[in-house]
Amino acid sequence: MQVAVRHLGKGAVFRFHCHRQLPCFNACCGNLSQALTPYDILRLKNHLHLSSGEFLRRYTLIRTGPATGLPIVSLRFDMHNGGLCPFVGAKGCKVYPDRPGSCRLYPLARGASFKSGAKPEEHWALIREPHCLGHQATKVQTIEQWVADQELEDYIYFNDLMLDILRLQNKLGRKPMAGQQRDDFISTLYDLDNFRAKANSCPWPGEFDFETRLGKAKSNDNALLELALDWVKLVMGGMDHEP
Ligand code: SF4
Ligand code: SF4
């Protein structure tokens, strides 16, 4: 059986249940090409009590996305250990409460398109891989139930803010980011501890109420990430672009 992808319309239900008693338990936690979003890294580095810089050094690889020209930060799998995820253990995921959004989403895939205005139109699909036995379950759920069960709301929120940056890059038709611009993009969005330190010591433009937001971001990581995302958009030159 090959990988099958089935479109799921609004209100669709799907049959799936993943649990420890399945013979395939942990079979999906290796040999992946798993991109991490800035929000994934924020959650993971806090879970591991690491600085964002240390997390990036220990656990990630950075390359340039061929389609967008933007840096892509991926989880570095352990090639000395069968290509396993660095966070998988005999009892399952060792970072489960703060696992990445893609791990929560699976076996679903989500796309978003933006026609006009702020709210994206969502597109959902069910991925069925031969090794994954969760599809044999009798448990049935809606997409909305899966999103709630997997606590995906914040992941989706920040994912869509990142999509805004991808859209901006496409709209501007920019070449692949390189040099200082690439370093700044990574250190602002993915190395949030670095961004916080820098933000506290540099003068800010008057626009977008950055000073007030920075005050809130001192004790609120999500607010800090929102600020970083807006800052990157401002630097890319399109803060008030049309959708
Ligand atoms: S983060 Fe956890 S759920 Fe995701 S691939 Fe690694 S071990 Fe599996
Ligand atoms: S049911 Fe699928 S998602 Fe769950 S452990 Fe098995 S392969 Fe992974």
* 30 & 98 share domain: yes
| Averaged pLDDT of the chain | 90
Shared domain for 229 and 116, answered yes or no, is no
**Same-domain status, 132 and 184:** no
Domain's final residue, options 119, 151, 183: 151
Which helix (H) or strand (E) element contains residue 153?
A: helix 153-172
Using CA atoms, how far apart are residues 27 and 38, in angstroms rounded to an integer? Answer: 26
Whose CA is closest to atom 1 on ligand 2?
A: 134
In a domain, 243, yes or no: no
pLDDT of residue 206: 66
Instruction: Determine which residue's CA is closest to atom 2 belonging to ligand 1.
Output: 93
> Any idea what the Cα angle at residue 163 is, between residues 199 and 213, rounded to 5°?
30
The proportion of the chain whose per-residue pLDDT surpasses 70, expressed as a percent, equals 94
**208 pLDDT higher than 80:** no
Nearest CA to ligand 2 atom 5: 25
What is the distance between the alpha carbons of residues 191 and 232, in angstroms, rounded to a whole number?
13
- Six-digit token string for 106: 């699976």
Would you state the pLDDT for residue 105?
97
For residue 207, the model assigns a pLDDT of 65
- Stated pTM of the model: 0.93
Q: Are residues 85 and 56 in the same domain?
A: yes
Q: Is 218 part of any domain?
A: yes
Task: Give me the pLDDT at residue 240, please.
Answer: 44
109 lines ligand 2 (CB under 6 A): no
Enumerate the β-bridge partners of residue 89.
92
The best mutation among 99, 102, 104 to test binding of ligand 1, ranked by most ligand atoms within 8 Å of the C-beta, falls on: 99
Question: How are strands ordered across the β-sheet holding 108-113?
Answer: 4-8, 121-128, 108-113
Mutate to test the pocket of ligand 2, among 14, 18, 34 (most ligand atoms within 8 A of CB): 18
Instruction: Please say which residue of 151, 174, 196 terminates a domain.
Output: 151
Whether residue 23 has a cis bond before it, omega within 30° of 0: no
List, chain by chain if needed, residues with CB within 6 Å of any ligand 1 atom: 29, 85, 87-88, 93, 95, 99-100, 103
Residue 186 Cα, ligand 2 centroid: separation in angstroms? 32
- Residues 133, 115: one domain? yes
Residues 100, 44 contacting (CB under 8 angstroms): yes
Q: Does ligand 2 come within 6 angstroms of the Cβ of 16?
A: no
| Mean of pLDDT values over 146-165 | 96
